[in-house]
Amino acid sequence: MAWLACASLGFAAEPAALSQDQLSKAIKIDSLTIPTPGELFAALEKPGKPDWASQYRTPIPMTYRNRAQIALNLGGLIADGFIAVEAQDSQQVKNIGTDIIKLAKALGVSENVLRRGNSINAFAETGEWDALHEELEATQNEVKTSMQSNHDQDLIILVSLGGWIRGTQAVSASIIKNYDEQSGKVLRQPAVVSFIHAKMNDISPELRNEPLVKSVNDQLTGIEKLVAFQSSKGPTLDEVRKLNDAVGKLIDEIQRKEDAK
């Protein structure tokens, strides 16, 4: 799939930016060319096992009214699910799975997504971590497929974006805790952010001009600069902190701000 090609380019040990031709082809081939949180976590090469449990966050509200905000937070919750799987915390997986289903229902997704939620609980009970990882990937894809069939194509990019922002927050925080230059290279993703910008410009003007969506899109410009450090070396610790602060600010805004319909 195109997003896997983009992921390998974005997360190689010596990352290479996508050419304009490659980027345009990726956009035409597949609207989901944003690495999933699972891919982002898998690309993180650190000595020893990261302390994923330290990246948990407090539960977010389940009462958002704005569909764009729901989509962004749903993507973030799916990333939280991957974090819990990496930490091999069955109770946390089940808690997050329940919240994923609540937000998915608010977007009117299909029964297939709800069945995935039941599978997540079953695999969490038995500690089948590889199966859980695959089920979260499948859940994210089911959400997007359901939204596409409901003609909610514009919201698909927001689900992917929410997951990428939350995943980048967790990875950058993990790198800060045990900094080394090689691990930091996973954060070099200018082609990914450029792709996100292109897709944000494709969504309907009405959605693009909603206050939260507009704010997130505007802040991506600064984030793109933070993930465009030299490919020959990893980011400095200070650069990683600046990126973590930037995506953390976005996460706070996404989960807090509630716009009128």
Read off the pLDDT of residues 44-55 as tens digits, 9 standing for 90 and up.
866 667 889 999
Closest CA to 176 of 6, 44, 16: 44
Say what the pLDDT of residue 218 is. Answer: 94
| Numbers of helices and strands, H then E, in the chain | 13, 0
Say what the pLDDT of residue 27 is. Answer: 36
Say what the pLDDT of residue 30 is. Answer: 43
Contact between 104 and 64 under an 8 Å Cβ cutoff? The reply is no
Closest CA to 94 of 85, 106, 103, 104: 85
| Helices 111-126, 90-106: inter-axial angle, 10-degree rounding | 170
Q: How many residues does the chain have?
A: 261
Closest CA to 73 of 145, 200, 159: 159
Say what the pLDDT of residue 28 is. Answer: 38
Contact between 39 and 11 under an 8 Å Cβ cutoff? The reply is yes
pTM reported for the whole predicted model: 0.82
Give the tokens for residue 87: 């930490």
Using a 10 angstrom Cβ sphere, with 0-12 exposed, 13-18 middle and 19 or more buried, the burial of residue 22 is: middle
- Cα–Cα distance, 170 to 85 (Å, whole number): 13
Cα Rg of the chain, angstroms: 17
DSSP string for 139-151: HHHHHHHHHHHTT
| pLDDT profile of the chain (261 residues), mean per 10 | 32 38 40 72 75 92 92 94 91 91 84 76 84 84 77 84 95 92 90 89 90 94 92 90 97 77 44
Torsional sign, CA 192, 220, 60, 159 = negative
Say what the pLDDT of residue 110 is. Answer: 65
Q: Which residues contact 181 (CB under 8 A, 6 or more apart)?
A: 233, 234, 235
Helix (H) or strand (E) segment spanning residue 44: none
Say what the pLDDT of residue 149 is. Answer: 72
Please give the biggest Cα pair distance in the chain: 47
Closest CA to 70 of 154, 172, 3: 154
